[in-house]
Amino acid sequence: MASHVVGYPRIAPKRELKFALESFWDGKSSAAELQNVAKDLRVATWKQMADAGLTYIPSNTFSYYDQVLDTTAMVGAVPPRYGWTGGEIGFDTYFSMARGNAKLPAMEMTKWFDTNYHYIVPELGPEIKFKYSSHKAVDEYKEAKKIGIETVPVIIGPVSYLLLSKPAKGVPKTFDLLSLLDAILPVYKEVLGELKQAGATWIQFDEPALVMDLEAHHLDAFSKAYSFLEEVLVGIKLLVETYFADIPVETYRTIIQLKAISAIGLDLIRGTKTLSLVKTVGFPGDKYLFAGVIDGRNIWANDLAASFSILKDLETIVGKGKIVVSTSCSLLHTAVDLVNETKLDNEIKSWLAFAAQKVLEVVALAKALIGQADQPYFAANAAAISSRKTSPRVNNEAVQKAAEALKGSDHRRATPVIARLDEQQKKLNLPILPTTTIGSFPQTVELRRVRREYKSNKISEADYIQSIQQEIAKVVKMQEDLDIDVLVHGEPERNDMVEYFGEQLQGFAFTVNGWVQSYGSRCVKPPVIYGDVSRPKPMTVFWSKYAQSLTARPMKGMLTGPVTILNWSFVRDDQPRSETSMQIALAIKEEVEDLEASGIQVIQIDEAALREGLPLRKAEQAHYLEWAVHGFRITNCGVKDTTQIHTHMCYSNFNDIIHSIIDMDADVITIENSRSDEKLLRVFQEGVKYGAGIGPGVYDIHSPRIPDTEEIADRIRKILAVLETNILWVNPDCGLKTRKYNEVVPALTNMVASAKLLRTELASAK
């Protein structure tokens, strides 16, 4: 019986790729040095999977930024503004598209389906000339083959690539991206031919768009694409991989009939109806089923006995020898290796499986299906599953009762937002177009050193507090010098917005090296929610109160909202996510009320990941939005009308949930706008009325590029064309922690200058 993983983490346990990328971007190392680090990581990963006994080892899943950008490079879809004139696409063009450069902004970045991973959105139009321009997939296949490892090259499929794209600037928004299918397919054919010539026997096309709500013309595009590729696929096997949800019935019927496809990968974890679909509709006898029974998006040990039962059930439908045991999706979304966790509680550690352990689970199940079960391994797994179910540390009766008591109320603030804003303005006395930032300021090397030394007991608590307070004082003075209206303390005590809160909440556990890639060199270390959640004591009040004491200007208290904590954690899977979210909401509510009592007049509760958690299928979205929005309202339903509640969202498509955002009933929302070509504004152009304060981001913080005053002012003018002056705020797209001070200070200087320029223009127009 064969085994397979959809993809594997590329950052390595201790973020070696992150540091190599940042060194290259800073000009401290060469392209060759970066390539050598990347090659060493690839080779080590392939060898690890081969040593584990994995049958089908993926290649071309390693990326310097993201796999969609890799595909953009492969097909030569470089926007003209980057000045690429042909030939193999190199780092200069590749990273300019991803990050921008001194003269040009980056391409739009958005979330990869309903995950915290991001991708660079391709920009396409009728004039695009696709051309095979990056041989990365073939080069990495040959690289693995050279060391004696046969791999399965992984490529984003042609239809999903087009559906994940957007019309380029100047192209009508109604442009049919699938009209480019005829133009792009010859490039895919060329890539397949080259892989075939290099000796590849299996190739994997990821087509995650197959789990979406597709129309007939979408399905026709899949049929057309794979019929076109049928000839070049003679002699090699093509796996079409899907993940993150069930495949709709009509889509499933279409795909299983395609002759070019030798195997179909199905997510049996999030695809909760997939098993019954296969049973009802059947499965073609000429194809393999890659059964995704190991969760690629969470870190809990698989219940091997339950998975084995599912596989045996499938075997009766598909046939012996036709099932390949696999992960539900790429392991990119999990941490790398549990072996590196030396500080985790032993009981909790026994409940977990990171990417390396999931490979072993896949192989163990494959062997069990042919009668070669590792009985001690299965017994240890059964003991861990039982331990987790019965452990007293998982359940807290008081928390469960408090969450249950929430039912029956919608937890809205009693006074409408327009009236609240009037009361808040009387107290805050802000100018029109008030300026603020999103929360974090640059995380310097010195600041990271202080936190690291405090955690390892190398400096005292008193020394740590003094260092953090000095950093807060520096950031406060800097904002006052810049003449920003509503200040932040810069979050110097936090390495990560979710990890920081999780460390202070009960029901959470933490890793040392449980890093997961978010995009490029950006890595996060999600906490593990293993039990019921509660707040033992205040978490931010000390720092916010100190920061407010340094200034007469309003100081924002900075919190992370319940849905974002949920979506950016590894969440327990033994109860509905909505129940865990409500528990977190109660904990944040306590913190909000303590901040208010300590004199903080503006409190920001970030829900950056609200859109991210939206189910992919429309039929499931209303239920999610109902409990997610309700959870946010719970956090601040008890504050006074004069306390201003902000929230922040970033790097997703928010237009389709704008009414739910309004229903959150925040006083002010700051939201990413500049990098997405201001598509957020279209929802207001189309007539949606928004009465609360709103700050569409006026510059992109994920690029080192510094916009000038006039550029920012022009963006504000565009915003004022669709939003009322009295509700508009001026702020960056997101927090500033990933930037350097020599980028932040001039960018904020220009932002404030642009706000003042517009105030003058508006006053003159009266």
Binding annotation: 18, 116, 438-440, 491, 522-523, 568, 606, 648, 650, 659, 663, 672, 734
Q: What is the DSSP string of 281-315?
A: H---TTSEEEEEEE-SS--BPP-HHHHHHHHHHHH
Own/partner pairs, 165-171, CB within 8 angstroms, 24+ separation: 165/121, 165/122, 165/123, 165/124, 166/108, 166/121, 166/122, 166/123, 166/124, 167/123, 167/124, 167/125, 168/79, 168/123, 168/124, 168/125, 168/128, 169/123, 169/677, 170/125, 171/124, 171/125, 171/126
Record the tokens describing residue 112, joined without a space.
Answer: 């990869």
Answer yes or no: are the C-beta atoms of 590 and 535 closer than 8 Å. Answer: yes
Alpha helix segments (H runs only) across 87-200: 91-99, 136-146, 158-163, 181-198
Binding site per annotation, positions for Zn(2+): 648, 650, 659, 663, 672, 734
Binding site per annotation, positions for 5-methyltetrahydropteroyltri-L-glutamate: 18, 116, 522-523, 568
Record the tokens describing residue 353, joined without a space.
Answer: 């499986």
Q: Quick count: other Cβ atoms within 10 Å of Cβ 522?
A: 14
**What does residue 523 show for φ and ψ, rounded to 5 degrees?**
-120, 150
Record the tokens describing residue 479, joined without a space.
Answer: 């904002």
Nearest to 658 by CA among 631, 634, 692: 692
Tell me, what DSSP letter sits at residue 600? -
Binding site per annotation, positions for L-methionine: 438-440, 491, 606
Specify the amino acid at residue 622: A
Answer yes or no: are the C-beta atoms of 678 and 711 closer than 8 Å. Answer: no
Query: In whole angstroms, what is the distance from residue 94 CA to residue 326 CA?
Result: 32
Q: Quick count: other Cβ atoms within 10 Å of Cβ 482?
A: 17
Nearest to 567 by CA among 634, 481, 497: 497
The catalytically annotated residue of 4, 333, 489, 702 is 702
Binding site per annotation, positions for L-homocysteine: 438-440, 606
Nearest to 169 by CA among 69, 76, 79: 79
702 catalytic? Reply is yes
| Buried b / exposed e along 252-264 (16+ C-beta atoms within 10 A) | bebbbebebbbbb
Query: In whole angstroms, what is the distance from residue 310 CA to residue 306 CA?
Result: 6
**With the C-alpha atoms ordered 571, 572, 577, 581, is the resulting torsion angle positive or negative?**
negative
Alpha helix segments (H runs only) across 405-456: 417-428, 445-455
Residue with tokens 């070696």: 16
Query: In whole angstroms, what is the distance from residue 721 CA to residue 712 CA?
Result: 15
Record the tokens describing residue 226, joined without a space.
Answer: 């794979």
Residue with tokens 């920003």: 484
Nearest to 160 by CA among 109, 208, 200, 100: 208
Positions marked catalytic: 702
